[in-house]
Amino acid sequence: MTVSTAPSRTEIVREADGYDHATIYNGEQRLHVVVRGEGPLVLLVHGFPEAWFCWRNQIDAIAAAGYTVAAPDMRGYGRSSKPDAVEDYIVTKLVDDCAVMVEALGHDEATIMGHDWGAMVAWTAAWTRPELFTAVVGMSVPFGGRGLIPIGGVDSFGTRRPSVVQREIAGPDKLFYQEYWSKPGALESEFETDPRGFLRGQYFSFSGGPYPDDFQAPDPLATTPSQIAEQIRNGGVCMDLDAKFSDGHVIPEADPDWLAADLDDYVREFTRTGLRAPLNWYRAMDKSWEELAPFEDKPVEVPALFIGADLDVATQWGAEAVAAFDRTVPQHRPSVVLEKCGHWFSRERPAETTAAMLDFLAGLEQR
């Protein structure tokens, strides 16, 4: 094990897994970042409930293509700090963490790529700090403006406070999942009762696994706003008032290979850390919406790519937002929609996901 020290209170340790593990400090917040390679910086931002190692299938390939790859445990996750206050998870603070990582690793700029909540952070970083985050790839979730996650037929561009949008989606007799997840202790108690069962159900239910092999998915980007709204209201993400979220989980008879490969790691990680801090990202959405008011109506002005999947509900919900990219993300590349996979496509379809990421990076080099 070797140890080196970089500027800005950054310690870098080569660990037994062969990766450099950096500890970077943003004020009082400690950020754990896995680093590999040399060259222009590519920052990979995970979502919920994942960790730096959701990018295992991408890190080495991107580094081998001539880039420095940095994959953090984001604030609230893994080996990074977990502050108590909801205000500490406002999206602009998550972006600031990313900015500190870029500087601490000795770079002037970075391409930022994110999946799920990581996509919302990545879009916001490129939107609000284009001088630093000079290109962006959003995966699963397209650009949603102040609202962070776009929901066609209800609010795709962040024109209203997220909690108001969530209430409208569900109506008086149900709860939208984000509203339930924001209730202190609700989802945490489901997880703590059975961590492995909860995570197994969460990952499988939102993958392509529940669909039969011969299922022909329609083009998710062709979904109309009214169809999206109806799908959400009638789907499992709108819950009965007395239900638990995990009541809607689909449990596999046997774990698919992609899930079996890393389920033990996720169970170990979240059994140690719990879900309270990651769920604060959802609980801070209204505060994030308020903080982003100065950027309303401003487009994302850097080169951008959206990667989705045909069986991913977030891709389906974002069809209206993607259709508006000529206005909201004018330097966007043609969107990539991966087939026969769901929300976790960096794990379900790692080769195709990596190829799309590398193609985008190669295009930047050719500018």
Report DSSP state, residue 108. S
CB 141 within 8 A of CB 119: yes
Task: Please state the φ and ψ torsions of residue 347, each to the nearest 5 degrees.
Answer: -105, -35
The residues pairing with 114 across neighbouring beta strands, listed in sequence order, are 45, 138
Residues in CB range of 212: below 8 A, 6 or more apart: none
Q: Would residue 343 show up in a list of annotated catalytic residues for this protein?
A: yes
Catalytic entry in 116, 155, 262, 312: 116
Q: What is the β-pairing status of strands 133-139 and 304-309? A: parallel
Q: How many Å apart are CA 19 and CA 70, to the nearest integer?
A: 10
- CA neighbor of 72 nearest in space, from 106, 23, 107: 23
DSSP SS3 for 304: strand
List the alpha helices (DSSP H) in 194-275. 195-205, 225-234, 257-260, 263-273
User: For residues 94 and 80, what is the distance between their CA atoms, to the nearest angstrom?
Assistant: 12
- Is residue 115 among the annotated active site residues? no
Catalytic residues: 116, 343
